[in-house]
Amino acid sequence: MASALTQLSDALAAAVEEAGKSVVRVEGRRRMAASGIMWRDDGIIVTANHVVKRDEGIGVGLPDGQKSQASVVGRDASTDLAVLRLDGATGVAAKLGENPQVGHLALALGRPGHTVQATLGIVSALGTEAWRTPMGGQVDRYLQTDVVMYPGFSGGPLVDSTGRVLGLNSSALVRGVSVALPVTTLSSVVDTLVAHGRVRRGYLGISTQPVRLPAPTAEALAQETGLLIVGVEPDSPADQGGLVLGDAIVGVDGSRVRHHDDLLALLSGDRVGRKVPVRILRGGQDHTINLTIGER
């Protein structure tokens, strides 16, 4: 038993050492520093957006003890991701893992100080479908662990028992739960931010709340709920398109809208600037209004 425990302990230490070569300290806010992942060896770093309060002059502590400066390449607040570029420095790119399973050991790593820190847990929950953050960002799958998120760990990696990155830890995605953004989401968002500086999101300029439709209407539309408009921003796409308080949105561009997540999913970047049909109920009557989707 002692030998087996020693071997496990040594393997975990080796995983931390391997993954730690790509974990950096990010000094992008006044209080405690946070962590980041060296995503590419040409100096591209991914970290949590909420820990980076400025765009330039960001201090980065490298694994070899050296310090460099970095600037923001792009941000996506909806997935709490920011991409930084080192000023004239390079690093060791993280090795990426795949296909974690519930029960697998997982290590959360951080470098809020000069040395790498780690905490151990297991993968406690995995989703099979994409989900949306409270800010509307799409995440490829739900990845939850029971690791303890110590101060300064946000932006650091979740790694498997061999030191390969499974995701990025953020304390801002779901309060009270340790959730990591999986590498598939990281890859997509990082590539987009490096190429364009932002992730395009559609925007209407409305506040809504779910509403249950009257039985005859629900039967006719084959859906039980819609979204009641309770606020319209002046000069927003919704305002310019003719949506008003009291309208109930039941469809966008030919797809049903039952819940808020349905609407967010339909306000995708490819619809920005396009005029699309929005199906509403107004005074109990079915109407279609064509409006141009704005950009968030």
Domain span at 175? 1-198
Same domain for 160 and 207, yes or no, is no
Query: Do 277 and 192 fall into the same domain?
Result: no
CATH code: domain of residue 169: 2.40.10.120
Q: Which of 21-25, 51-55, 203-207, 257-261 comes out lowest in average pLDDT?
A: 257-261
pLDDT digits over 7-46, tens only?
A: 999 999 999 999 999 999 999 999 899 999 999 999 999 9
| Domain co-membership, 257 together with 174 | no
Is 87 among the residues known to form the active site? Answer: no
Look up 286 and say whether it is catalytic.
no
What gap in Å lies between CA 97 and CA 162, rounded to an integer?
A: 9
Q: Which of 35, 78, 154, 171 is catalytic?
A: 154
Q: What is the mean pLDDT of the chain?
A: 93
- C-alpha count within 13 angstroms, C-beta hemisphere, residue 193: 26
Q: Are residues 230 and 166 in the same domain?
A: no
Position 261 scores a pLDDT of 82
pLDDT at res. 1: 57
Cα Rg, the chain, nearest whole Å: 22
Q: Are residues 192 and 241 in the same domain?
A: no
One domain, residues 4 and 106 = yes
Whether 162 and 216 map to the same domain: the answer is no
CA distance 34 to 270: 33
Report the pLDDT value the prediction gives residue 133, as an integer from 0 to 100. 86
- Catalytic residue, candidates 35, 68, 78, 80: 80
How far, CA to CA in Å, does 242 sit from each of 96, 98, 277? 48, 47, 12
Instruction: Give yes or no: residues 275 and 169 share one domain.
Output: no
Which run of H or of E encompasses 289?
strand 285-292
CA within 13 Å, CB half, 29: 16
- Domain end, chosen from 167, 198, 229, is at 198
- Give the pLDDT score at 264: 84
Mean pLDDT of 45-68: 96
- How many domains in the chain? 2
Q: What is the DSSP string of 190-250?
A: HHHHHHHSB---EE--EEEEEEEPPHHHHHHHT-SEEEEEEEE-TTSHHHHHT--TT-EEE
Closest CA to 104 of 82, 122, 89, 131: 122
* Res 91 pLDDT > 80: yes
Can you give the CATH number for the domain in which 248 is found? 2.30.42.10
Q: Does the annotation mark 80 as catalytic?
A: yes
Q: What is the pLDDT of residue 2?
A: 64
Q: How many Å apart are CA 234 and CA 231, to the nearest integer? A: 10
**161 and 239 fall within a common domain:** no
Q: Are 75 and 155 members of one domain?
A: yes
- Pick the catalytic residue: 50, 78, 160, 262? 50
The answer to whether residues 16 and 161 touch, using CB atoms and an 8 Å cutoff, is no
